[in-house]
Amino acid sequence: QVQLKESGGGLVQAGGSLRLSCTASGRKFSIYTMGWFRQVPGKEREFVAAISWTYSSTYYADSVKGRFTISRDGAEKTVYLQMNSLIPEDTAVYYCVADGPMTGATIRSANGYRYWGQGTQVTVSS
pLDDT digits (tens, 9 = 90+) for 22-74: 999 998 878 999 999 999 999 999 999 999 986 679 999 999 999 999 999 87
* CB-CB contact of 11 with 90 (8 Å): no
pLDDT recorded at residue 55? 65
* CB-CB contact of 51 with 72 (8 Å): yes
**Percentage of the chain exceeding pLDDT 90:** 82
**Helices (runs of H) and strands (runs of E) counted in the chain:** 0, 11
* CB-CB contact of 122 with 8 (8 Å): no
The Cα–Cα gap between 51 and 39 comes to 19
pLDDT recorded at residue 27? 84
